[in-house]
Amino acid sequence: MPELHAHNVFFTLRDASEAARTKLVEACHKYLKDHPGVLFFAAGTRVEDCVRPVNDRDFDVSLHMLFATKADHDAYQSAPKHDAFIEESKPNWARVRVFDSSVTR
């Protein structure tokens, strides 16, 4: 089976108001969803009522992308729209955690 590249990013915001969370999710959709090689894209906010001991709640917004290849992911990392997303959104980031993995279906 071919390996796909999963790219998951968890943002903790300085201003974690509903408006700020919505603004970041909208920026994800505006700048990040239509890159070559993207097979799946989703962005959203933490589910407030998932409070089991195993739930990591140390984030406000999450981004989930699945790329056809690692090369597609690598091209995305240096794409102008990705750079514009970072420039626009970074001032409100308190912490960003990135989880990349090779996955198969």
Mean local confidence (pLDDT), 82-103: 97
pLDDT of residue 37 exceeding 70, the answer is yes
**Tokens representing residue 72 in the block:** 């597609």
Residue ranges per domain, the chain? 1-12+26-38+62-98
pLDDT for 74: 97
Closest CA to 81 of 11, 44, 43, 28: 28
CB 80 within 8 A of CB 36: no
pLDDT of residue 54 exceeding 70, the answer is no
Mean local confidence (pLDDT), 14-24: 98
The rounded distance, in Å, linking the Cα atoms of 33 and 93 is 20
pTM attached to this predicted model:
0.92
Q: Tens digit of pLDDT for each residue in 66-78?
A: 999 999 999 999 9
